[in-house]
Chains A and B, each alone.
Chain A
């Protein structure tokens, strides 16, 4: 039986009387790992600047490309949100902004943040960089397709951005693009703007499908020896499940986009009923606006979990590494991710309780929606129980994780209001909804993204981000965004409807003026704090503290490549062999407080390690 250990370069030695040298040699049967099933992958190595950094097939480079593009669109989304908050907080200071542009900004902000920032960053960015490294593959299984995936995304972003510069501007129909509003004259961007939006979304879906197939197959079929599914880091589980969701949910958006473009271009009436606008009857008739809502939310709700599940996975790993403790209830965590993913296909109409669909649906969807709260709650318990009796490093990464926990729990419980059909009736379409989803799928995942960037920056670049700037960045971001969205729930209780350009003339909304000003100020500050972060990145790239190999003393494979930062092909001559789950921290009897995944059992015979 041949054994090819990957020499992990760790100085780990078990307190064992018969220490067995790592590497090939005499090994006992407990170290047995099934022989290789998958043939070694041949990779195309780039030779020129263009094939190495631009049209590159290396998943790590593609991941960075995805990240940079997504962050770029994210900054535009951020600037749009500033404009919106300017209007809501201080309308008289910003008279240029008309109601048309306001609604255009609202629409673009929503679409950019949900699809082009969060989805692209989690799946395209983190997925590409981490999946091959974490499962011990040399690259994605189809590197060429993966490269095309990024460039489709890039074109999709260009098309989306182009809509700012066409006559009529971008669409202003709200990010949900509900017909008939979207296609009617009088809605901003109902001409070219909406077409560019739909084309961009279709391109995004096609590009994402190419990438998504890669992620799924790499995880299912290209893991290294010993890497069972139940030994994968939760990051991979989160991204994997989210990708499956995306592959099955994006079709609905794609179909909706096709049908809507036909309504626009050919004058079909899929979604368009008989409409009388300004006293004139339009040529549409017989279509169903609610059908679009069903299609949209059949995509839209899984989309929430497409953003949330990778965040769940990543934060589990970050907490475990920095609390120096195994993630509590790993199997429960995996099943919770899978269960949330599965149930998320049966809850979509909770966005439509007051849409005029058959009210009987309310019972079903309220029940499924609240059921999904159970696995989600289990995940929260397991995160906090991971902190219990840990050895918690209070560094920037951990701060972001704690910030995530608090905002996520807060946003999660307000979900219990909105998911419960009768409770939703007074609250839907008010600021309560805005506060809820920004807390739970805006701030919470963004905090994870930021934490993850602080965590993996040393791997990608070989340097640390500045810890002091990081702390400033964290506290301003966390406290600032909490004070934006926590009070906003109370605007919803008053009954202030969302998507109002102005609202000061209503008798009971006057009390909201002060709060709106406060929220706007907080939003400006939080936005500005992100530029500290950008500065930190640029600065640290140049003069950041150099990182050793595996600076956080983590167990998962991505830290055990022969070169840091990892090069194309990841693993040098030999692929790593995995013997355990990635969470063996502070195992009783072990000399150090971590046991890498590559350490064979014979080296840690006398420790209290549990078999995984």
Chain B
């Protein structure tokens, strides 16, 4: 069989695979539809180029296979053609780049009404901190971290007292309300990634990184760690629930604040001291 047929089959197979594939992205649950759109745009422009180039190759393979005595064309260069191709490519590239940069400029500009959610990553799990009624997160320091103060909140910072601590891997957020994820890590690099929200960012020990999104679909979503963080990397999961207003409030009310937690530890200490004193 002429090898051209197989190359043709590869091209057609690729297109068919793309059309019938059962593997495709999850339904989007955030405002980052723009990312999906830019992917699709890239798909059509770049995919079109792929198909054209491959078909051109296949055509050449059929048409110009070796024949004894045939003369190939002798044409070292063709300035006009090369110029046209360069500019056409530049134009195509610009068409891909421009929308990408627009989406990126949205991605790095957090809306002012976004709720701050601190995500604290460790080997291998997640926990979260939400601002209390003052709407502000207390300042933190790594050196403050202890069994009682898992987030390392500065004790003398008044904003920290009412911070809501969620010492579980389950996070609830409100639908249609922008969320600014502030990422921290105590040990190695991690990455807070929910495929349905599309966005992701590494958490780096010693630095607070961020990204934002606006969840727009109620549901339960799995959190994956997307930056290699050691032998337990693949098991580092969590859950995000996107709730309506009421459910979110109910959930929030059940959570403990930082001062609650500290008081609890104080109580335990007192109890222990009392017991010791009795003895």
Contact = CB atoms under 8 A, between A and B. Distances in A.
B262 to A, nearest CB: 18
Contact of B96 (A274, A288, A370, A612): A370
A324 B201 CA distance: 51
A197 to B, nearest CB: 16
A279 B122 CA distance: 10
A281 B228 contact: no
Contacts of A497: 193, 224-226
A393 B68 CA distance: 10
Interface string B86-114: 10011001001101111111011000000
A406 B56 CA distance: 11
A567 interface: no
B17 A487 contact: yes
A493 B228 CA distance: 19
Given A490-B21, A506-B222, A180 B205 contact: yes
A405 B57 contact: yes
A586 B228 contact: no
Contact of A356 (B24, B56, B183): B183
Interface string B15-26: 001000111111
A602 to B, nearest CB: 20
B101 A422 contact: yes
B46 A416 contact: yes
Nearest to B147: A279
Contacts of A354: 191, 200-202
A378 B191 contact: no
Contacts of A499: 228, 233-234
Interface stretch (A142-150, A182-190, A258-266, A557-565): A182-190
A311 B201 CA distance: 34
Interface in A493-513: 493-495, 497-503, 506-508, 511-512
Interface string B34-71: 11101100100011011001101100110011110011
A542 interface: no
Interface residues of A, number: 114
Contact of B23 (A186, A389, A487): A487
Given A426-B200, A493-B23, A586 B206 contact: no
Most chain A C-beta atoms within 10 Å of own C-beta, residue among B3, B186, B188: B188
B230 A428 contact: no
A497 B234 CA distance: 9
Nearest to B105: A363
Given A362-B108, A416-B42, A429-B191, A501 B64 contact: no
Given A99-B234, A354-B191, A610 B7 contact: no
B72 A495 contact: no
Contacts of B26: 494-495, 508
Given A486-B17, A490-B23, A501-B233, A356 B93 contact: no
A330 interface: yes
A66 to B, nearest CB: 31
Interface in B172-218: 183, 186-189, 191, 193, 195, 198-207, 209
Given A181-B229, A387-B57, A495-B26, A328 B72 contact: no
Contact of A494 (B25, B75, B235): B25
B46 A413 contact: yes
B143 interface: yes
A267 interface: no
B234 A500 contact: yes
Contacts of B65: 392, 394
A399 B60 contact: no
B7 A406 contact: yes
B25 A493 contact: yes
Interface stretch (B76-84, B163-171, B263-271): B76-84
Interface residues of B, number: 101
B75 to A, nearest CB: 7
B260 interface: no
A428 B96 CA distance: 18
A2 interface: no
A367 interface: yes
A501 B234 contact: yes
A420 B6 contact: no
A241 interface: no
A384 B74 contact: no
Contact of B230 (A187, A287, A420, A588): A187
B207 A290 contact: yes
Contacts of A405: 53, 57
B272 interface: no
B231 A172 contact: yes
A9 interface: no
A208 B24 CA distance: 43
Nearest to A429: B226
A532 interface: no
B12 interface: no
Nearest to A173: B228
Contacts of A25: none
B176 to A, nearest CB: 21
A336 B47 CA distance: 23
Contacts of B3: 394, 399, 402
Nearest to A502: B234
B42 A275 contact: no
B97 to A, nearest CB: 5
A174 interface: yes
B38 A420 contact: yes
Contacts of B97: 366-367, 370, 420
Nearest to A360: B108
B159 to A, nearest CB: 22
Given A391-B71, A391-B72, A494-B23, A423 B100 contact: yes
Interface string A263-305: 0000000000111110101000011111000000000000000
Contacts of B38: 420, 422-423
A409 B53 contact: yes
Contacts of B228: 103, 173-174, 178, 181, 498-499
Nearest to A391: B72
B100 A178 contact: no
Contact of B104 (A371, A421, A427, A493): A421
Given A413-B49, A487-B23, A178 B189 contact: yes
B200 A423 contact: no
A425 B85 contact: no
A423 B108 contact: no
A328 to B, nearest CB: 7
Given A273-B142, A328-B75, A586-B71, 7 more contacts: A186-B231, A373-B89, A422-B102, A425-B35, A426-B36, A495-B26, A498-B228
25 contacts: A173-B228, A187-B230, A187-B231, A273-B205, A290-B207, A325-B72, A326-B74, A356-B209, A366-B101, A367-B101, A377-B89, A381-B85, A387-B64, A390-B72, A390-B73, A406-B7, A413-B42, A416-B96, A420-B42, A426-B198, A426-B200, A487-B23, A493-B24, A494-B24, A506-B222
